[in-house]
Structure formats: C-alpha cells, structure tokens
A and B are shown apart, each in its own frame.
Chain A
Amino acid sequence: MEDFKKKLRIRIGLLLMLNGLMLFAGILFRMLVPANENALNGNFVSGVFVGIQAVCISLIIITAGKLRSEAELNKAYIVENDERKKAVRLSAARTSQIIILSVLALAFLIASCFNKTVALTLLCVQLFVDAVSIISLLCHSKLM
C-alpha cells in the first residue's frame, strides 16, 4: 500500500506540473498572439488550456481525497489493480489496434484511387503504427 501511496503522490506532482505548464503556456500564448488577431482561434486555444487546467485540478482534488482516507485509498487500490479490469483494457486495446489498422489499410486503398498525398500520409501512419506495435511487442517479450 505504501507503494500505491507513493504512486498517487507522484501522480499529484505530475498533475501540478502539467497544471503549471498549461498556465504558463496560456499566458505565453496570450502575450504572443494579439487579442484582436484571429480572435476565434485564440479564444479556442485559451479555452483548451483552461479546460486542461480544470481537469488537472479536479484530478488533483480526487487523488488527494483518496490519500486522506484509508478506506478510500483501499478502494482506489482495488479498482486500479483489479486483474479483470486489466484484462479488459488489454483486450480492448488489441481490438482497437486491429480496427485502427484495418480502417487505415482500407482508407489507404480508397485514397490511392483519388489523391496521392492523402494515400501516402495514410500509408505513413499505418507504417508508424505497425512499427510502434512491433517495437513494443519486442520490448515486452524481452521483459517477460
């Protein structure tokens, strides 16, 4: 349980860092982009920064709440380490990967009939996803 507590504290630290980074990025963005220039895009980007900060703050509050009570901590530990949930996540990831690769291959085939640039971009994405999958497969098979 001490390891889990440490993990939660690290998570809070990372969220605080991300929050600070978003605040800094938001201020920098406002300073660099004049308010009247492309106002719609500017407001959208500022909204994204504020939204990420709001999510970070709510996650910090939730995580800190778990650390305060032993019962909540125990509950969170069970939820995060439940083996069925891990198996479900793994299975969902596998299915998602197959669907993404199939759709990309299909999209590449369709796009190759109409637009060379789009087709090549799709092919690059497919190859990148394949490369990441193979590398992570090799890494994990070495680890186990």
Chain B
Amino acid sequence: MKTNIPELRKKRKLSQEELAQAVGVTRQTITSIEVGKYVASLPLAYKIARFFEMPIEEVFDFSDIDKEE
C-alpha cells in the first residue's frame, strides 16, 4: 500500500525515529510502511493519521483496494 508518510514527515521535518516514538512503534515499522512492505493495522493507521492531523485517506492510498472492488 502506498502512503504519503515520507512527504508528510519531510514537510514537518520529522525523522522516522521521531514519528515511530510518537505513534509507539519501532523505526523499522515506519520504514516498512513507507516502502510498502508492511500494511499498518487500523489502530496504527489511525494513530499516524491523528498524529498528522489528517484523515486516514489522505495519509494512506486506498486506490488499490478501490480497484479490487
């Protein structure tokens, strides 16, 4: 799944480590989510979206799921 996390992080000048600490996961998890190797769970996706003060759809790209339907 594609995400806008790298762009959002860069905009706020945040490192992966800082974001990871803020949402309670390891830096490796954030890296995996950013490169699309791992799909975040709903609670984690919610935490990340809440951290950026944005709706989930603006942080995560759900177009693949829409296409499947």
Smallest beta-carbon distance A81→chain B, Å: 7
Are the CB atoms of A81 and B29 closer together than 8 Å? no
Docked CA distance A71–B41 (Å): 25
The number of chain B residues touching the other chain, given as a range, is 10 to 19
Verify if B28 is at the interface (C-beta below 8 Å from A): yes
Q: Size of chain A's interface in residues, with CB distance under 8 A?
A: 9
Interface assignment of A37: CB less than 8 Å from any CB of chain B: no
**Is A87 a contact partner of B38 (Cβ separation < 8 A)?**
yes
Q: Report if A78 contacts B (CB, 8 A).
A: yes
Q: Do A82 and B25 have beta carbons less than 8 Å apart?
A: yes
> Nearest Cβ in chain B — how far from A94, in angstroms?
16
- Would you list 26 pairs from A and B whose C-beta atoms are within 8 A, ordered by A residue? A77-B24, A78-B20, A78-B21, A78-B24, A78-B25, A78-B26, A79-B26, A81-B24, A82-B25, A82-B26, A82-B28, A82-B29, A83-B25, A83-B29, A83-B40, A83-B41, A83-B44, A84-B25, A84-B26, A84-B28, A84-B29, A84-B32, A84-B38, A85-B26, A85-B29, A87-B38
